[in-house]
Each structure stands twice: as structure tokens, then as C-alpha cells.
Structure 1
């Protein structure tokens, strides 16, 4: 397995993997398949060149199988924070530690940025496997956002988690 930061040439593979996640796990993301399916590759190419985010990909035998993005806050009073977003590992390779390695890579990047003191994420409150993964690398729960997402007539609660890089 190889983990590296994605670049514009990875946009097509990233888009395919992202759409897979949105289609088969709609309750795990704030975005929807319907919203994303028609977005151009140039959107992702641009994101991979931004100095406000770092997207890492896990590759097995040259195929992109997992992703995570570290998104930096830009507001002056929030520049000490970053967020983990768009985390996804394809089902055929789950349980092999790929998600954990992606998270650790994103956290290492956060630690290398002198301004980042804490990293936040949200996770569907019923996703025990994901919560266990996040806790295993030091994230702690600090609240529940009730009815954070709505899919059709169903509401989904999200758990708010944080990892402090400096005590």
C-alpha cells in the first residue's frame, strides 16, 4: 500500500471513488451523489492544488482505494483548527488498516503546520466502526448534533469529535 497526497492527475480516480462512497453510503456524507455526479473534474483538480486542504489517497496495486482530506480553517479566529472530511475506504479493502493509515497521515500533516492546534471531524452517531477508528488515533467525542442530516424523511445525528495536538 502507498499513501500519498493527491494531485490534479488523480482527479478522475478520486471522483470515481467519491461517487462510490456517496452512492453506497449516503448517510455518511453531507454531500449527496445527486449533487456531485455532474461536477467537473476541474473542481477536484483545483482542490488538489489548494493551500487550504490536503487530500491523501491510499493506493493498492496502483488503484485508489481510500481517501481523506484535511481541510484548514481560513477565518482568523479559527486558523488554529483543521477538519477531517470526505474520508472513505472502498469496501473490498476495509479492515486492513488503510483508514487508520490515512488518518495518521492527515494528522502528521496537521502537526507539521505550525498553526494547527486541534483537528475536528463529524461521524454518523450510529457508525460504531468509524467511531472506534477515530478514537484509536486519539479523537474524543464532545457532543451530538441532532438531526444533522436529512435523507428523505429520515434524520441522522452526527457525533462531533476532536483531537488536540497541543495540550
Structure 2
């Protein structure tokens, strides 16, 4: 199901079904705030693992970091994002919109986040469809997709549920232009 791992004195070990793994470049130490968040949300996280979409997205996030090629990492992370958000049509716009709704911030921060996600999705599409991707942009695109997926997983743990796409569409449609 989930990889088992431990970190002690800078050493990283894990149980993984793959014979060859790409070691993480750096395993940062958790801050007190991060440890507190984990303690506060442990029960909700375990409950969320019963949700198929959440569980799949968590697995894709965990496994993506062990792949050797950034383009493969990007495809797996975006598969997790798309599945977690339940998006089946109008992918680019709806993913960006739904993710912006879920992230904290004021209107301008959400608008900036929306633009960043749409830009990152262009790279995802080039990777998936094999059309003219700038290989130098892949490490940053991988890092962005990784941050996006873990941020969405974190938000859903805090919510204690995975919102349906229709609920997020209703939230988006509830705004008025004046």
C-alpha cells in the first residue's frame, strides 16, 4: 500500500518493491510546526486512506519521487492531481480553478495560483503528448507538480474529505462580477 520508511541521522531507508530506487537528494528535518500538524491531523489522514481517490493520489505522490526521469515523475504527479480532483473534462481550466479554490489566500493569491497551475499544465501536456517539451524546464515542473499534489492532499486531510468536482464547480459559480 504505502512505502515504509525511516529517517535517522541523515540516513534514509525504506521497504519498496522496486529493486532499484532513486534516492531522494535531501531529506529535510521536520519543523515543530510540521510535526504538530501531523499529530493534529493523524486521525483524519488515516481515515482519508479509505477514500480511493485520496489513496491513489497519495500513492502516486510517494512513488513519483523514486522514478529516474522528470517527465515520468511529472506524468505520475499530474495523474494524482487529476484523479484527486475528479476531473474528466476541460482538464486545464478545471484543475487550475479547483486547486485555486482549495488553496488558502486572498483573491489575488488565488488568481496567481490559478495562472501558475495553468502554465504548469502546459508542460504536463507536452510531456504526456511528447510535443516539444523544453527538457531544461522539467526539474522545476516536477517540483511544482509535487508541491501542488502534496498541498492538495494536505488540504483534504485538513477538510477530512475529498470534495467532489461538482461541489468545486458550484463554489466557482457562486462568485458574482459587480
TM bin, normalised by shorter chain, reads: under 0.3
Which structure has the larger Rg?
A: 2
Q: Which has the higher helix share?
A: 2
Say which structure, 1 or 2, has more relative contact order (CA 8 Å, 6+ apart). Answer: 2
Give the TM-score normalised by structure 2.
Answer: 0.26
